[in-house]
Amino acid sequence: MDRAFLPALCVAFLVFGSVAFGGKVYKWVDERGVVHFSDRQPNELEKVKGTLEEREVKEALPSDTKEDLETEPLLRNPIEHAINATFTVKGAKNIGTGFFISSTGFAVTCRHVIQEASNYTAMLNDLTEVPLTVISTSQKYDLALIQVMAPQQTPCLALRQAETLLPGEQVFAVGASAGLQATVTDGVFTAFRKIPTLPEPVIQFSAPVNPGNSGGPLIDGNGNVVGVVSVKYFTTKGIPVSGVGFAVPSEQLQEEYGIYLE
């Protein structure tokens, strides 16, 4: 073994409990009196003087990685990530949903969610409440840009072009449905529709939504945002309607606030 590596290997041996590999470490003294540390046994040229010491080394993560794992929970699927990136928008008289589009707290909701004069707060997925500021409301779409005063970097969602959706493709709505934090419902994409209350065509989908869902993300199975939940039909001509919801397409979100997207 090259003696140039001896100091580093000595350190590795002395702190073997925190190295990032598993297996065995060997220590021996050769005929010249040089101390060796290695993850392999000595060869014939390295004649051992005295005892060959052998120690087991358990696999361990670097301390900074351990710390990250303790502070950042392991996510099991893209939907769980979407839940973490979604929050409840709370006002004096109304409730809605928003979701992060950057790690610096910029987020999106629906314009009608924050139209009332109120001191709005965001209830994050861990149920802590923090202030939010309205940055911009769209004059064209039912969209608004807000900034949440989160104490740390925020998980954020990526966009997918809604025009790539296929009829029957599964989608998920995430939001404070009926005031219940981070409710997830699933359905399918139906079509793009033109409805009287919105100026541009919107996504029609079948995932159940309720008051409180407005402003939340409509995502695909990979957790990418295809739309922002906006309205639903509750009744038509006095007849209850279920499974008919509408979302602002992601292209319109990109058009309005693309500069804030990561």
Number of Cβ within 10 Å of residue 168's Cβ equals: 9
Of 34-38, 64-68, 186-190, least confident by mean pLDDT is: 64-68
Looking at residue 148, what DSSP letter applies? E
Task: Give exposure, 179-201, as e/b (b: 16+ Cβ within 10 Å).
Answer: eebbbbbebbbbeeeeeeeeeeb
Catalytic residue positions, numbered:
112, 142, 214
Number of Cβ within 10 Å of residue 160's Cβ equals: 17
* Residue range 46-87, pLDDT digits in tens: 667 777 776 554 443 343 444 443 445 567 899 999 999 999
Which domains does the chain show, CATH number per domain?
Answer: 3-65 (no CATH), 78-148 (2.40.10.10), 162-250 (2.40.10.10)
Q: What is the mean pLDDT of the chain?
A: 81
The better pLDDT of the pair 24, 50 is held by 50
Amino acid 236: pLDDT: 56
> What dihedral angle (degrees, nearest 10) is formed by the CA atoms of 209, 213, 216, 219?
-10
**How much is the pTM?**
0.70
* Residue range 78-125, pLDDT digits in tens: 999 999 999 999 998 889 999 999 999 999 999 999 988 789 999 999
24-32 mean pLDDT: 67
- Where does the pLDDT of residue 196 fall: very low under 50, low under 70, confident under 90, or very high at 90 and above? confident
3-state SS assignment for residue 195 = coil
- Where does the pLDDT of residue 39 fall: very low under 50, low under 70, confident under 90, or very high at 90 and above? low
Looking at residue 202, what DSSP letter applies? E
